C-alpha cells in the first residue's frame, strides 16, 4: 500500500527524470552494500540455532561479533560510496555538467545512510532468529511508513530530491537506533572477558560469505540492471523501468515476507532432528509458495492495464504496461525459488544457493546489456527472465542430490493447475478488454473479480481429485476457517 500511494506522488513532485536519479542513488547504495559480508542471514541462522538449543551466551556472542564487524564495514562503505560518487556519475551513468554534479551530491548525501542501512538486516535477524517475526516486520513497516509520509511532506514543501535524500538518512538512522535498543533487551548479559569475538567472527563470516555472494548475484536484478539502463537509455528510461520493476517486485517481497520464517525453522529443525525431518515441511511450504505466486501473478497480469491507469495515469501507464507484465512473470518465477533458497540456507547448504544466484545474476546482466541496446526498456525487462530460470535450474538440480530424492512431489499435478491459471488469466483479460471504454477503476474490479472467481470455481471443481496443489488450497482454507471459528 505504501508503494501504491508513494510512487505516483514521488513522480508527481520529482518528475520522471529525478525519480530515475533517486532510484539510481539507492541502487548505488545497495551495490556498495554488498560489503555487508552477508551477516544478516548469518545472524538469523546462528541466533535460531543457538536459541533452539538454549545456548543464550552464544546468541550474545554472535550479535557482538556482527555489530563489531558492521562498525568497520559502515565506516569503510560510507567513505567508498562518497569517493565513488563522481566516477559513477561520469563514468557509469555518462552524465555531464550540472546533472553530473547534482547526481554526485545526492549519492554523497545518501552515503550517510549506508551504515544503518547495511546493519538493519542483522538487527531484524536477531528478532527473526528468535522467531519474533512481528517485531522485525513492525520495525521495517514503521521505517517505510515514516519515510513515505515525511518524504512526501518534504517534497510538498518544496524540498526536492535533496530533501527526500535527507529524510531517508534521518529515518534510517532512527530505525537502527530504536531497533538496536529493542533487540538488546532480548539478549543475555555477557561479561567482556567471555566475548571470544575472534572465534565467533570466523564462524559468522565463514557462513556470511555465501550470503554476500547471494547479495552480489541479486544486485543484477534491481540495481545493476538500473545502472545499465541508465547508461544505455538515460534517466527517463530508468524512471519507467523502475516504476514497472518496483511494482512487480512486490510479488517476490510478499513471498519473502511469508517465507522468511522458514530459514530459522529449517535451521532449528536441522539442529534438533537432522535432514530427514525437513523434507516434508519443505515440500509443503514450497507448494504453498508456488500457489501464492502463480495466483497473484495471474490476477496481476490480467488486471495490469486497468491497474496501471488507476495507479499512475493513462499517459505513463502506456509506457509501463509491457515491462510491468514481463516483470510480473519474472518475479512470480523468482518467488517460486524463495522457499528452496531458505531451506538450503537454513539446512546448512548456503553454497548451493549462492552458486545459483551468482551465476543467474551474471547471465542476467549480460542479457540486459545485449537486449537494452536493441529493444529498449522492454528488452531490458525481458532479459531479467534469465535470472529465475538459471538460478532455479541450478538450485533445483542440487536440491535433488541434497535431499537424496526427486522433485516429483512438486511436479505432480502442476500442469493441470497451470492450465487453470491460464484460463483464469484469459477470462480476466477478456473482460478487461471488453470493458475498455469503462472507467479504469470499474474495469480493474471487474477484471480481478473475473480471474479470482474463475480460479475459485476451478479449484472447487477439482476438489475431489488427488491433485496435491488443489488439496493444499483446501487444507489452507479449512485451517483458516477453523481459526476463525475458534476466535
The pLDDT tens digits for 353-410 are 778 888 888 999 999 999 998 899 999 999 999 998 998 888 777 776 655 444 456 7
In tens, the pLDDT along 57-80 reads: 888 888 888 888 888 888 888 888
Using an 8 Å Cβ cutoff, are 235 and 27 in contact? no
Dihedral, 172, 138, 342, 380 alpha carbons, nearest 10:
-50
Phi-psi bin for 465: left (phi > 0), alpha (psi -120 to 50), beta?
Answer: beta
pLDDT score for 406 = 47
Overall average pLDDT of the 175-179 stretch: 92
Q: 105, 164 in Cβ contact below 8 A?
A: no
Euclidean distance between CA atoms 28 and 323, whole angstroms: 22
- Determine the Cα–Cα distance for residues 146 and 59; give it in Å rounded to an integer: 31
| C-alpha cell belonging to residue 409 | 512431489
Confidence of residue 464 (pLDDT cuts 50, 70, 90): confident
Give the Cβ contact number of residue 277 at 10 Å. Answer: 12
pLDDT category, 337, cuts 50, 70, 90? confident
- Picking from 353, 354, 327, 333, the residue whose alpha carbon sits closest to that of residue 289 is 333
CA angle 447, 480, 416 (to 5 degrees): 55
pTM beyond cutoff 0.85? no
| Mean of the per-residue pLDDT values of the chain | 83
Cα gap 431→451, rounded to integer Å: 9
For residue 275, pLDDT over 60 is answered with no
Tens-place pLDDT, residues 14-24? 888 888 888 88
Does 48 score more than 90 pLDDT?
Answer: no
Give the pLDDT confidence score for residue 273 in this predicted structure: 61
Amino acid at each position: 500500500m505504501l508503494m501504491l500511494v508513494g510512487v505516483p506522488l514521488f513522480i508527481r513532485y520529482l518528475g520522471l527524470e529525478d525519480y530515475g536519479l533517486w532510484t539510481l542513488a539507492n541502487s548505488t547504495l545497495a551495490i556498495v552494500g554488498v560489503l555487508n559480508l552477508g551477516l544478516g542471514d548469518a545472524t538469523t541462522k546462528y541466533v535460531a540455532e543457538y536459541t533452539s538449543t538454549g545456548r543464550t551466551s552464544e546468541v550474545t556472542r554472535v550479535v557482538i561479533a556482527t555489530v563489531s564487524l558492521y562498525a568497520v564495514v559502515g565506516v569503510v562503505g560510507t567513505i567508498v560510496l562518497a569517493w565513488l560518487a563522481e566516477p559513477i556519475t561520469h563514468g557509469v551513468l555518462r552524465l555531464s555538467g550540472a546533472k553530473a554534479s547534482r547526481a554526485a551530491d545526492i549519492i554523497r548525501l545518501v552515503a550517510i545512510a549506508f551504515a544503518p542501512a547495511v546493519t538493519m538486516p542483522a538487527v531484524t535477524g536477531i528478532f527473526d532468529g528468535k522467531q519474533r517475526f512481528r517485531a522485525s516486520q513492525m520495525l521495517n513497516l514503521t521505517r517505510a511508513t515514516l519515510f513515505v509520509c515525511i518524504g512526501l511532506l518534504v517534497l510538498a514543501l518544496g524540498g526536492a530530491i535533496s530533501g527526500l535524500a535527507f529524510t531517508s538518512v534521518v529515518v534510517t538512522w532512527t530505525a537502527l537506533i530504536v531497533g538496536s535498543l529493542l533487540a538488546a533487551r532480548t539478549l543475555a548479559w555477557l561479561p567482556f572477558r567471555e566475548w571470544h569475538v575472534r572465534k565467533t567472527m570466523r564462524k559468522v563470516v565463514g557462513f556470511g560469505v555465501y550470503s554476500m555472494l547471494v547479495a552480489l548475484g541479486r544486485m543484477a536484478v534491481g540495481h545493476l540492471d538500473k545502472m545499465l539502463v541508465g547508461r544505455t537509455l538515460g534517466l527517463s528510461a530508468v524512471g519507467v523501468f523502475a516504476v514497472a520493476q518496483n511494482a512487480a517486485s512486490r510479488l517476490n517481497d510478499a513471498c519473502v515476507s511469508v517465507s522468511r520464517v522458514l530459514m530459522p525453522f529449517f535451521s532449528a529443525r536441522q539442529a534438533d532432528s537432522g535432514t530427514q525431518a525437513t523434507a516434508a515441511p519443505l515440500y509443503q511450504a514450497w507448494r504453498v509458495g508456488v500457489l501464492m505466486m502463480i495466483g497473484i501473478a495471474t490476477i496481476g497480469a490480467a488486471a495490469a492495464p486497468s491497474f496501471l491507469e488507476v495507479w499512475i495515469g493513462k499517459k505513463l501507464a502506456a509506457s509501463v504496461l509491457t515491462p510491468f507484465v514481463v516483470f510480473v512473470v519474472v518475479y512470480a518465477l523468482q518467488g517460486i525459488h524463495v522457499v528452496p533458497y531458505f531451506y538450503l540456507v537454513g539446512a546448512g547448504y548456503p553454497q548451493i544457493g549462492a552458486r545459483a544466484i551468482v551465476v543467474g545474476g551474471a547471465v542476467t546482466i549480460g542479457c540486459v546489456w545485449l537486449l537494452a541496446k536493441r529493444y529498449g526498456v522492454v528488452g531490458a525487462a525481458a532479459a531479467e527472465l534469465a535470472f529465475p530460470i538459471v538460478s532455479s535450474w541450478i538450485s533445483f538440480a542440487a536440491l535433488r542430490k541434497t535431499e537424496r530424492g526427486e522433485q516429483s512431489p512438486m511436479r505432480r499435478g502442476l500442469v493441470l493447475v497451470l492450465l487453470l491459471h491460464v484460463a483464469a488469466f484469459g477470462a480476466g483479460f477478456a473482460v478487461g478488454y471488453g470493458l475498455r471504454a469503462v472507467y479504469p477503476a470499474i474495469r480493474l474490479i471487474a477484471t480481478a473479480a473475473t480471474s479470482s472467481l474463475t480460479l475459485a470455481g476451478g479449484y472447487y471443481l477439482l476438489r475431489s481429485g488427488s491433485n496435491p496443489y488443489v488439496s493444499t488450497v483446501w487444507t489452507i482454507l479449512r485451517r483458516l476457517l477453523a481459526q476463525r471459528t475458534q476466535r
